[in-house]
C-alpha cells in the first residue's frame, strides 16, 4: 500500500547543518526499520494469514523539511576537496563551516536566505527510480522559478536547475545532492533566493568550473520573500509528486 501523504515542517533559519543532518539520518533509519518490519510480516503472512492485515494497513511515512543554514560549505562523498579554494584560517575569517557529508555531488555552499529542502521519502510510495526522483526535484524548482518569469532548464550530465544553458552565460540557481538507503531518501536541494553569492567565490561550485551561480534576487534585481518561495516549492512538490502535503506536528 502506497502512502502519498508527505508531512512537512519549516525548521526556520540558522539551523546547524550537522544537527539537521543527524535528524535526517534518524528519520531515514526509522523508515528503513519499519520497512524491515513489514517484510517480516510478509513472511509470517504465508503461515499466519491474520498477519496480512498488518501489511495492508501499514505504510511508511514521508517527510519534507525546509531550513536555512548558517554559512557552511558541504562536500559529497566523492567530491574533490581541492574545490574548496580557501584554508581553515580563511573559513574562520568569513565565519563559515566545512562539513564532509555522505550525499552525492561535489562541494556547495549553504547560508542565510537560501531555501534548503530535505525530502525524506520512501520511494516505494512513489517510484523506485533515483533518476526519476532527481528529475522530479528539478521539475519542482523549474515550476517554482517560472512563477517569477525565469526559464529554468536542465544541463545534460549536471544535476540541478540552470539558466541559459548552452550559452556563455549559463548559471546555476539550484543545487542538488541526495543519498538513498533501501529507497529512502535524504539530503536534497538548495535554491538561492536572496543568497550572498560572494560565498561561492571561495569554491568551485559543484566542481563545475565553466558556469556561474545566481539567485532569484540577482535575476530579478529585487529581494524575494523566502516565505513566498517556500510556499511555491511546497505546492509544486505536491503537484510533481502527486502527493498531499500536510503540516508535521512533532
Which of 176, 206, 226, 229 is flagged as catalytic?
206
pTM of the model: 0.93
Give the CATH superfamily of 5-247: Bira Bifunctional Protein; Domain 2 (3.30.930.10)
Q: List the domain boundaries for the chain.
A: 5-247
Confidence (pLDDT) at 79: 93
Three-class secondary structure of residue 61 per DSSP: coil
Higher pLDDT: 63 or 36? It is: 63
Active site residue 174: no
Per-residue 3-state assignment (H helix, E strand, C coil) for 9-24: EECCCCCCHHHHHHHH
Q: How confident is the model at residue 16 (pLDDT cuts 50, 70, 90)?
A: very high
Lowest mean pLDDT among 6-20, 43-57, 125-139: 43-57
Q: How confident is the model at residue 43 (pLDDT cuts 50, 70, 90)?
A: low
User: Crossing angle for the helix pair 226-240 and 130-146, nearest 10 degrees?
Assistant: 130
Q: How confident is the model at residue 95 (pLDDT cuts 50, 70, 90)?
A: very high
Radius of gyration of the chain from its Cα atoms, rounded to whole angstroms: 19
DSSP letter (8 states) at residue 210: S
Confidence (pLDDT) at 46: 59
Q: How confident is the model at residue 249 (pLDDT cuts 50, 70, 90)?
A: confident
Encode pLDDT of 161-178 as tens digits: 999 999 999 999 999 999
Could you tell me where the DSSP H helices lie in the chain? 17-47, 52-57, 88-93, 130-146, 216-220, 226-240
Confidence (pLDDT) at 206: 83
Amino acid at each position: 500500500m502506497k502512502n502519498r501523504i508527505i508531512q512537512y515542517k519549516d525548521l526556520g533559519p540558522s539551523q546547524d547543518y550537522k544537527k539537521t543532518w543527524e535528524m535526517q539520518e534518524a528519520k531515514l533509519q526509522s523508515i528503513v526499520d519499519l520497512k524491515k518490519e513489514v517484510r517480516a510480516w510478509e513472511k509470517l503472512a504465508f503461515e499466519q494469514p491474520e498477519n496480512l492485515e498488518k501489511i495492508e494497513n501499514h505504510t511508511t511515512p514521508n517527510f519534507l523539511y525546509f531550513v536555512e543554514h548558517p554559512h557552511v560549505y558541504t562536500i559529497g562523498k566523492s567530491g574533490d576537496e581541492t574545490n574548496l579554494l580557501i584554508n581553515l584560517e580563511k573559513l574562520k575569517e568569513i565565519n563559515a563551516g566545512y562539513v564532509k557529508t555522505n550525499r552525492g555531488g561535489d562541494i556547495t555552499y549553504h547560508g542565510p536566505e537560501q531555501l534548503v529542502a530535505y525530502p525524506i521519502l520512501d520511494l516505494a510510495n512513489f517510484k523506485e527510480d533515483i533518476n526519476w526522483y532527481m528529475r522530479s526535484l528539478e521539475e519542482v524548482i523549474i515550476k517554482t522559478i517560472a512563477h517569477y518569469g525565469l526559464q529554468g532548464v536542465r544541463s545534460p550530465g549536471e544535476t540541478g536547475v540552470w539558466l541559459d544553458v548552452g550559452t556563455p552565460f549559463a548559471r546555476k540557481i539550484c543545487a542538488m545532492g541526495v543519498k538513498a538507503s533501501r529507497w529512502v531518501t535524504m539530503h536534497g536541494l538548495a535554491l538561492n533566493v536572496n543568497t550572498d553569492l560572494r560565498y561561492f567565490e571561495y569554491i568551485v561550485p559543484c566542481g563545475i568550473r565553466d558556469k556561474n551561480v545566481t539567485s532569484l534576487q540577482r535575476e530579478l534585481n529585487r529581494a524575494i520573500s523566502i516565505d513566498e518561495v517556500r510556499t511555491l516549492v511546497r505546492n509544486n512538490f505536491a503537484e510533481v509528486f502527486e502527493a498531499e502535503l500536510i503540516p508535521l506536528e512533532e
